[in-house]
Amino acid sequence: MLELYGHVVASRLLLGTARYPSPAILAEAVRASKTDIVTVSLRREMAGSRAGGAFFQLIRTLGVRVLPNTAGCHTVAEAVLTAKMAREVFATDWIKLEVIGNHDTLQPDVFALVEAARILSGEGFKVFPYTTDDLVVAERLMEAGCQVLMPWCAPIGSAMGPVNLPALRSLRAQFPDIPLIVDAGIGRPSHAAIVMEIGYDAVLLNTAVAGAADPAAMAAAFTGAIEAGRIAFRAGMLEPRDMAVPSTPVIGKAVFS
Amino acid sequence: MKLTINGEDHYTDISVLSDLLASLEYEGEWLATAVNGELVHREDRSDFTLCDRDRIEILSPMQGG
């Protein structure tokens, strides 16, 4: 079982709620994924609109825990205020902390991220930082109070999959006891399986499911891949070799010439 | 007085935050409010006095990744 800030979850898939064709399809995908945690956000409400309320009610009916994000924030002040407003709305001290540093790559501003993580941890938040695969930044985030790390494996929405497996392996080796969740860049179930095979604890994804032709079916596919990757990691996998090794024993082989 | 509400200029004589929200039909337990970059808790809105040129943010839940 996976424990995140003292909360035990059965599913190792965290699912985003954005970009689905409809609320009904979002609900189908969440149920098909068997996830325990979905990410949500906050945006400006129009006067007289009840759009936010409709989404709020939908999430409540799904019976899952919410992980609000600070998506779109570019400064420490924006991220900290958004986190506080999210705590007010969703009644949770969990926060997926995003501080974006580059408009094109949506790469996190890791300097601001660490500062915001320190402030929010000091105010009682349980911070899930969206970060790069940089080892030193990871150390700083933990010093700032983070007990979970969420490195990207490729830019958000890129669907490239893990582009720097050695860096992800290094993080895993350096922090064997910290929950590591790959957040962003996953495009296919096989990508999710790969990061689970190298020992990651969970995967957070959104677009790969929401953008599929059949989001509910794709959610189920990711769940299967993540479970397979986890079981494979625990089972202990063969390392690649340069030479062939016969699988059938050669002792007792007939000699015909 | 002039207020900025979610980035839009707004002119009003209403000086209490909760009254302003009601007048603009902002309703629901899912709303969060901030004034000049500081969170104003739900229970504090009826005691919060607005001033000219205050910047008000009113946020609600939406889909996110």
Residue A145 located in a structural domain: yes
Interface test with B, best of A55, A76, A89 (most B CBs within 10 A): A89
Q: Is residue A246 part of a domain?
A: no
Assign residue A236 a region (left: φ > 0; alpha: ψ between -120 and 50; beta: otherwise): left
User: B34 and A86: CB-CB below 8 Å?
Assistant: no
Q: Count CA atoms within 13 Å of residue A234 on its CB side.
A: 7
pTM for the model stands at 0.95
> Domain containing A69 — which CATH number?
3.20.20.70
3-state secondary structure chain A: CEEECCEEECCCEEEECCCCCCHHHHHHHHHHHCCCEEEEEEEECCCCCCHHHHHHHHHHHHCCEEEEECCCCCCHHHHHHHHHHHHHHHCCCEEEECCECCCCCCCECHHHHHHHHHHHHHCCCEEEEEECCCHHHHHHHHHCCCCCEEECCCCCCCCCCCCCHHHHHHHHHHCCCCCEEEECCCCCHHHHHHHHHCCCCEEEECHHHHCCCCHHHHHHHHHHHHHHHHHHHHHCCCCCCCCCCCCCCCCCCCCCC
Name residue A48's amino acid.
G
B15 backbone dihedrals φ, ψ, rounded to 5°: -115, 0
Q: What is the pLDDT along chain A (257 residues), one digit of tens a residue?
A: 899 999 999 999 999 999 999 999 999 999 999 999 999 999 999 888 888 999 999 999 999 999 999 999 999 999 999 999 999 999 999 999 999 999 999 999 999 999 999 999 999 999 999 999 999 999 999 999 999 999 999 999 999 999 999 999 999 999 999 999 999 999 999 999 999 999 999 999 999 999 999 999 999 999 999 999 999 999 999 999 999 988 998 889 898 98
Q: Tell me if ipTM is over 0.85.
A: yes
In 3D space, the residue among A127, A138, A113 whose CA is nearest the CA of residue A84 turns out to be: A127
Asked whether residue A257 is domain-assigned, the answer is: no
Q: Which of A99, A38, A108 is nearest to A74 (CA)?
A: A99
User: Which of left, alpha, beta for A34 (phi over 0: left; psi -120 to 50: alpha)?
Assistant: left
Question: Which DSSP symbol is given to B26?
Answer: -
SS3 at position B17: helix
- Domain hosting residue A144, numbered range: 2-235
Does B64 contact chain A (CB < 8 Å)? yes
**A77 CB within 8 Å of a chain B CB:** yes
- Quick check: A165 and A145 in contact, CB under 8 A? no
Confirm whether A205 is domain-assigned: yes
Band of the pLDDT at B54, cuts 50, 70, 90?
A: very high
- pLDDT attached to residue A257: 83
Say if A251 falls within a structural domain.
no
Question: What pLDDT is attached to residue A50?
Answer: 81
Per-residue pLDDT at A51: 84
Residue A250 lies in a domain: no
CA nearest neighbour of A54 among A13, A93, A23: A23
Of the candidates A44, A59, A206, which has its C-beta nearest B59's C-beta? A44
CA atoms within 13 Å, Cβ hemisphere of A36: 12
Which among A40, A44, A42 has a CA at the least distance from the CA of A20?
Answer: A40
Q: Sketch out chain B's domains with CATH numbers.
A: 2-59 (3.10.20.30)
Average pLDDT, stretch B43-60? Answer: 97
Cβ contact B6–A207 (<8 Å): no
- State the Cα angle at A103 between A80 and A112, rounded to 5°: 30
Q: Which residues in chain B have Cβ-Cβ distances shorter than 8 Å to A47?
A: 5, 24-26
Q: What is the number of structural domains in chain A?
A: 1
Work out the minimum CA distance from B46 to partner chain A, whole angstroms: 16
* Region B13-18 average pLDDT: 97
Nearest to B61 among A20, A48, A55 (CB): A55
Helix, coil or strand: residue B9: strand
Q: Are B39 and B10 in contact (CB under 8 A)?
A: no
Strands B32-35 and B55-63: antiparallel
Q: Which residues of B touch A84 (CB under 8 A)?
A: 34, 39
Active site residue A126: no
CB B32 to CB A69 under 8 A? Answer: no
Q: Which of A20, A52, A156 sits opposite B62 (nearest CB)?
A: A52
Contact B28 A84 (CB under 8 A): no
In angstroms, what CA-CA distances link B49 with A5, A188, B33?
Answer: 38, 52, 13
